[in-house]
Structure 1
Amino acid sequence: MKEVKREERSDFSFKIMRFSFFDERDKLCPPVRLPESFGIKPGMTVVDCGCGPGSHSKAASGLTGDKGQVYGVDANTLAVESVSRLIRDEKLTNVTSVLSEKSSSCLKDDKADFVFALGMVHMIRGHWPVFKRA
């Protein structure tokens, strides 16, 4: 039996979730609801950890405005590519897609006004060290 690499499983899972879960989730619970409830304000720097296709990054973009910055961070290449397309198609000038490595955000100064991780913590093996850094 062929061993399936983690990246292949992750890509397959993302594709399935992208076409069956994310769109339905966004219809039932518009992505802006949660970021609005966090108190994100214009000019803030926000990190969306495990951004997936970027629904919440886009919502945070509108809340932070032109003077704010949103980082859509994910360890999955397909997710980061999806956010990059969203940035291009929606002309989100204050959003940057970031491919992360394990427990590192890969952000230069590791500083942000607000960091959120929606619907992805259960997917991280050994996630507690990530929270200890916060």
Structure 2
Amino acid sequence: MLAIALYLASVSQTGAADHRFLGPAGAPATQFPKPDRPVADIVAPLWHSEEERDGFDEPGQLARLLGMRPGMTVADIGAGSGYLTVRLSPVVGPRGRIFAQDVEASYLKDLGERVKALDLKNVTVSLGEAHDPRLPPASVDVAILVHMYHEISDPYALLYNLAPALKRGGQVGIVDTRAATSRHGTPPELLACELAAVGYRQVAVHSLAGSDTYLAIFTPPAAEARKRPAEIAACKAG
């Protein structure tokens, strides 16, 4: 509760958040299994230096492979320092929107100040929960989870609660290394299993040029095909 209070205080100063865009609460984490593998600690808001990531054009690769274009709404889940948020803002343009969401209030305070300083009017900063991104229903064309999936303490709940936020034809793009989750990566086979357990369908896997990471792309289950939380079973790592 203290973190939320600090966050609300910070966004009232930066003007970066608009709580009209906060979605309804989803299913509680207690209804879902815990992951049957280690969950990595959240250690920093930035994976590598921004200059290094610019060097292999991580934002450009994601935009191209996920088909981002002007007018789209992109959810940057686990936005951290806002590296991708500020670079994807011009990609979706003034008619599009970026939801920059994180569970760390201190990260969002800094990100809110960055968004305000850059005058990014199409960016909405929002505080989510570990099991629920709290995004509006049918509002998102593309959701990205970049270098943070291994840090999600309740992945089955989060994926379940994310699905209703995606528009028809929406996609989820997850970027990670192939290392074990205890080493801040997610093996692609484990990732595919965990998303399939919630009803997502994997449509592509791409190795990102210039780095040791991959992008896995999924489509969410249709509303009528969604499993009940009790039907979801955790995947076993390795």
Q: TM-score, normalised by structure 2?
A: 0.46
Amino acid at match of 2:146: L
Q: 1: distance between equivalents of 2:138 and 2:89? A: 19
Deviations, residues 9-61 of structure 1 (Å, cap 9, x unaligned)? 85xx32xx54x834354343334222333111111111000111111111221
Gaps of 5+ in 2: 1-40, 164-238
Q: Which residue of 2 aligns with 1:116?
A: 144
* Structure with the larger helix share: 1
Q: Kindly, what percent of the aligned residue pairs are identical?
A: 23
Q: TM-score, normalised by structure 1?
A: 0.77
Task: Give the 5 Å matches for 1:4-83.
Answer: 10=42, 13-14=43-44, 18=46, 21-23=48-50, 25-33=52-60, 34-83=62-111
CA RMSD after TM alignment = 2.2
Q: Which residue of 1 aligns with 2:112?
A: 84
Q: Which has the larger radius of gyration?
A: 2
Q: 2: distance between equivalents of 1:111 and 1:70? A: 11
Gaps of 5+ in 1: 1-8
Q: 2: distance between equivalents of 1:41 and 1:70? A: 12
Aligned length: 121
